[in-house]
Amino acid sequence: MIPRQETIEEAGFRLYPKFISDPYNPSEDLNKEDRDNFIEGAKWNQEQILQFLYSEITERRPYSSSKMCEKVIEFIEQLKKN
């Protein structure tokens, strides 16, 4: 059985949970901005990877599959450094 992958939003709530720490404003979500920034950044990274993969597949068909895998790995490693 394959375990279910967590969504970007679920990861955001896991990393930046909604909690109450201000007794004078109990409805305030102190992590909302950080969580929203994480989710937005993760979605942007995901979109960049998909666009890159699409361009590699559609524009560089002469590449062998192993060469394409090397390019994809290089691209992902580059994203990790940023």
Nearest to 68 by CA among 47, 53, 46, 50: 53
Q: How many helices (H) and strands (E) does the chain have?
A: 3, 0
Q: What is the pLDDT of residues 22-66, one digit of tens each?
A: 667 777 777 888 999 999 999 999 888 888 877 777 676 665 666
> Which residue, chain included where needed, has tokens 């062998």?
64
Direct distance between the N- and C-terminal alpha carbons of the chain, in angstroms, rounded to an integer: 34
Give residue 63's pLDDT. Answer: 59
Pairwise pLDDT comparison (38 vs 78), residue with the higher score: 38
Contact in structure between 22 and 31 (CB atoms under 8 Å)? no
Give residue 28's pLDDT. Answer: 74
Q: Which sequence spans correspond to the domains of the chain?
A: 8-81
Give residue 36's pLDDT. Answer: 93
